[in-house]
Amino acid sequence: MPIPTTDPIIVAPTNMPFRDDESLDLDALARNIDRFCGTALSGFVVGSYGGEEFHMGEPEKVSSIKTVVDAHADRKFVIAGIDALSPTEAVRLANLYAEAGADIVRVRIPPRVGDGGRQAPIQDYFEQVTAGSPVPVIIIHQPKTAMGVDVTSDELSDITAFDNVFAYIMSLNYRYECRMSPFVNGAVKFWTCNGTLLMPGGIIGAVGACLLFGNWGPHIARDIIQACLDGRYAEAREMQDRINHMDYLGMAWGVGVQKTGLNLLGYEGTVPRLPNLPLTDAQTAEIRHALIEAGILDADGTPLPQI
């Protein structure tokens, strides 16, 4: 399937299933992907924080990309995540992941150097990356702290003007991103980053989203963005209110929520890779309640159709 051009586009960090011995279960990953292809999820992000990016080595990331590509069989598309301080390394990874079948690479804006350290302009970084990547680039603003800032308005305007940039994913710093959205190049898609920020992001111009909540309710994420695009803000608010509890748990408890939610929906979410631990029974019960509240599970815990 070619990269979608029709909005909204909803993608999610792809869960990595692990066996009891902590080895990556590629067969379970393929089965999950095949099932996801019947949902409103537009595509898969492989190698992201929500997908336990920092708990996997490069060979596992490459094998997982290949597995996802084979499993979706041209029904969706694949974004490979890159977190590299060096543009040379980012270009190397972009070529490696493209060779494995990735359709797009998602590259984090490098953090600012503090304490008077010298750093080349961010424009130089993305000029090299966008020129050297064989596939389109999505730029993500994801500072280490929720209210942090790693890019100025002028820099954002410059880096989203490079050829080969497909989208910009905003950060959690909503006050800042409200000001930044007008500086995203008009040819580049503006995406929100979080389930709780679907409606707020839609209000400031987001036409898609890359978010953990997309694992459980991609159809709801799509519908909220679409309602904002249509100006149906009361409907967007009603849907947003229903999902905030579930999305909050994802932010509060981490990757275990992704896996537990998928397990409750009948996927093979499995358990986190150490040092992260599975959630407790009480936490699982709250996730089940939040999924019912969101309209993703029926009152008896049965998954509802996703249309």
Asked if residue 65 belongs to a domain, the reply is yes
Cα angle value 292/297/298 (rounded, 5°): 85
Residue 21 is given by DSSP the state T
Q: pLDDT tens across 240-287, in order?
A: 999 999 999 999 998 999 999 999 999 999 999 999 999 999 999 999
* 292 domain-assigned: no
Whether 73 maps to a domain, the answer reads: yes
Average per-residue pLDDT in the chain? 95
Task: Find tokens 């880096």 and name the residue.
Answer: 159
Q: How many CB atoms lie within 10 A of CB 156?
A: 23
Is residue 84 in a domain? Answer: yes
Q: Using the 8-state DSSP alphabet, how is residue 18 labeled?
A: B
31 lies in a domain? yes
Indicate the number of domains in the chain: 1
- Determine, yes or no, domain membership for 273: no
Model confidence over 63-98: pLDDT tens digits? 999 999 999 999 999 999 999 999 999 999 999 999
Report the share of the chain in percent with pLDDT over 90.
88
Angle formed at CA 207 by CA 201 and CA 42, multiple of 5 degrees: 115
The yes-or-no verdict on residue 9 having pLDDT over 80 is yes
Residue 49 has pLDDT above 80, yes or no: no
Give the structural domain span for 53.
9-235
pLDDT at 117: 64
pLDDT higher than threshold 60 for residue 115: no
With beta carbons less than 8 A apart as the criterion, state whether 66 and 46 touch. Answer: no
pLDDT, mean of residues 202-228? 98
Give this prediction's pTM.
0.95
The confidence score (pLDDT) of residue 1 equals 64
Between strands 189-192 and 9-13, the pairing is: unpaired
CATH number reported for the structural domain that contains residue 83 in this entry: 3.20.20.70
CB neighbours (10 Å) of residue 246?
26
> Does residue 197 lie in a domain region?
yes
Please check whether residue 263 lies inside any domain of the structure.
no
As a 3-state breakdown, the chain gives helix, strand, coil percent values, each rounded to 5, of 45, 15, 40
